[in-house]
Amino acid sequence: MDLYDQIHNIVRAIPPGKVTTYGHIAAAIGARSGARLVGWALNAVAHSDRLDIPCHRVVNRLGELSGRMHFETPFVMRERLEAEDVRFVGDAVDLSRHLWIPPMQG
3-state SS string for the chain:
CCHHHHHHHHHHHCCCCCEEEHHHHHHHCCCCCCHHHHHHHHHHHHCCCCCCCCHHHEECCCCECCCHHHCCCCCHHHHHHHHCCCCEECCEECHHHHECCCCCCC
Active site residue 79: no
Backbone phi and psi for residue 7, each to the nearest 5 degrees, phi listed first: -65, -45
Out of 7, 25, 38, 55, the active site residue is: 55
Q: Active-site residue numbers?
A: 55
